[in-house]
């Protein structure tokens, strides 16, 4: 069928993933592992039951699945986890996917990391065509960093940030805003990040998975935090976009960019261009919904990509208008049962 479409001249128009609301899905986030070397309090329980390694797609299968999406018009690919850099052999996947950068089929290959493995991998990432990365850092206080991540060491992460900068990678710092934890550190983090020529993006905590705690105690509306920052800084709205859900302002005093990801106070669903694949080959059309499509079965059922491409297109046809995230005392439970580390951040 695809060959017939190519010959008829309709293939190029069809090689796009358009959802029922007319949104072009051009951004794929792929969780290469659900495992992580941190146990952040807003993301995981301390004693996690991770997936059996036998359930995970092989690196070759992940490459093939990503390539099938790229063939259908995906232009931006982000590797996530868990912590993607703890996946054994991960650089072979990055190197293989980089071929799509060389052909121009893929515009950007990037990843989100906790920074713990960057000293080891930063040069390889740059060598394989990665231009920028996101690094998650919620505090610059070493003791508090340890408390938030349970297992992380701030000094090691900061060494990783320096290694990434030395390798020529642009860095955006992601910080989850946590009430009573880091809300009063944000001005210092902003000044630090911008002083290092890095953007900073603030993120509201998301109700995903059991975390051994009450998310209403963590939730800090970014509308409130922005109002607090506006008392100290001049925030100018700008149209800058990276392909993700953040809205940005320029901070006049520092000259840097500050992003806000607000799934709860102001959702970004109307412009959503993203889908997510888990490390087991499950496609989630929305981070905050449970509807999913199994891509592992069609991937393994045939050496050609016809079945998996059909499954992808059918799934995009079910992409919902928006998510079901809510946090309040009456909804003190996860909006979805799976942890963020399963779906990919």
Sign of CA dihedral 10, 13, 16, 21: negative
Residue 2 included in any domain: no
Whole-number pLDDT of residue 300 = 96
List, for residues 119-173, the tens digit of each pLDDT value. 999 999 999 999 999 999 999 999 999 999 999 999 999 999 999 999 999 999 9
Residues 293, 311: contact at Cβ < 8 Å? yes
> d(Cα 192, Cα 202) in Å, to the nearest integer?
14
Q: Dig out the tokens for 127 from the structure.
A: 């060598």
Whole-number pLDDT of residue 244 = 75
Whole-number pLDDT of residue 10 = 36
Number of domains in the chain: 1
pTM of the model: 0.85
Q: How many CA atoms lie within 13 A of 172 on its CB side?
A: 22
Residue 5 included in any domain: no
Residue 337 included in any domain: yes
Residue 249 included in any domain: yes
Q: Report in angstroms the alpha-carbon separations of 57 from 297, 315, 338.
A: 11, 19, 18
Site of tokens 């990801």:
261
Whole-number pLDDT of residue 16 = 86
Whole-number pLDDT of residue 323 = 56
Residue 1 included in any domain: no
Whole-number pLDDT of residue 212 = 54
User: 204: which strand partners?
Assistant: 177
Beta carbons within 8 Å of 210's beta carbon, 6+ residues apart: 45, 334, 337, 339
Q: Report in angstroms the alpha-carbon separations of 309 from 52, 99, 134, 302.
A: 27, 20, 29, 11
| Boundaries of domain holding 127 | 20-343
Whole-number pLDDT of residue 207 = 57
Q: What is the mean pLDDT of each run of 10 residues along the chain (345 residues)?
A: 39 68 94 94 85 93 98 97 97 98 98 98 98 97 95 97 98 94 95 98 72 62 93 96 87 97 65 91 86 95 96 93 53 49 56
Whole-number pLDDT of residue 291 = 85
Beta carbons within 8 Å of 135's beta carbon, 6+ residues apart: 112, 113, 114, 115, 118, 157, 160, 161, 164, 171, 172, 173, 174
Rg (CA), the chain: 20
CATH number at residue 203: 3.20.20.70
Whole-number pLDDT of residue 314 = 96
List, for residues 249-293, the tens digit of each pLDDT value. 999 999 999 999 986 555 557 778 889 999 999 999 987 678 899
Residue 14 included in any domain: no
Residue 9 included in any domain: no
Residue 78 included in any domain: yes
């Amino acid at each position: 069928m695809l060959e017939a479409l190519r010959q008829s001249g309709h293939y190029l128009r069809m090689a796009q993933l358009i959802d029922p609301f007319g949104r072009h899905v051009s951004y794929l986030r792929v969780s290469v592992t659900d495992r992580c070397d941190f146990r952040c309090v807003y993301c995981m329980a301390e004693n996690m039951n991770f997936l059996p390694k036998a359930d995970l797609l092989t690196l070759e299968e992940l490459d093939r699945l990503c390539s099938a999406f790229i063939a259908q018009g995906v232009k931006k690919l982000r590797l996530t986890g868990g912590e993607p850099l703890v996946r054994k052999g991960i650089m072979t996947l990055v190197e293989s996917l980089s071929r799509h950068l060389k052909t121009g089929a893929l515009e950007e290959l990037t990843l989100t990391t906790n920074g713990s493995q960057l000293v080891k991998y930063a040069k390889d990432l740059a060598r394989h065509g990665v231009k920028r990365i996101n690094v998650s850092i919620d505090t610059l206080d070493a003791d508090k960093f340890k408390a938030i991540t349970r297992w992380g060491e701030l000094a090691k992460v900061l060494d990783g940030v320096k290694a990434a900068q030395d390798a020529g990678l642009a860095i955006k710092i992601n910080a989850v805003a946590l009430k009573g934890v880091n809300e009063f550190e944000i001005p210092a983090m902003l000044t630090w990040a911008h002083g290092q020529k890095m953007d900073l993006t603030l993120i509201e905590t998301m109700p995903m998975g059991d975390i051994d705690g009450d998310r209403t105690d963590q939730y800090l509306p970014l509308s409130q935090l922005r109002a607090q920052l506006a008392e100290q800084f001049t925030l100018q709205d700008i149209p800058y976009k990276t392909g993700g859900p953040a809205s940005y302002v320029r901070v006049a005093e520092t000259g840097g960019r500050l992003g806000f990801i607000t799934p709860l106070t102001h959702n970004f669903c109307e412009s959503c261009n993203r889908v997510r694949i888990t490390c087991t080959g499950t496609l989630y059309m929305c981070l905050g919904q449970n509807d999913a499509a199994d891509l592992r079965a069609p991937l393994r059922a045939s050496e050609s990509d016809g079945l998996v491409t059909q499954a992808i297109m059918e799934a995009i046809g079910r992409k919902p208008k928006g998510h079901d995230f809510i946090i309040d005392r009456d909804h003190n439970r996860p909006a979805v049962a799976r942890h963020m580390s399963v779906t990919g951040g």
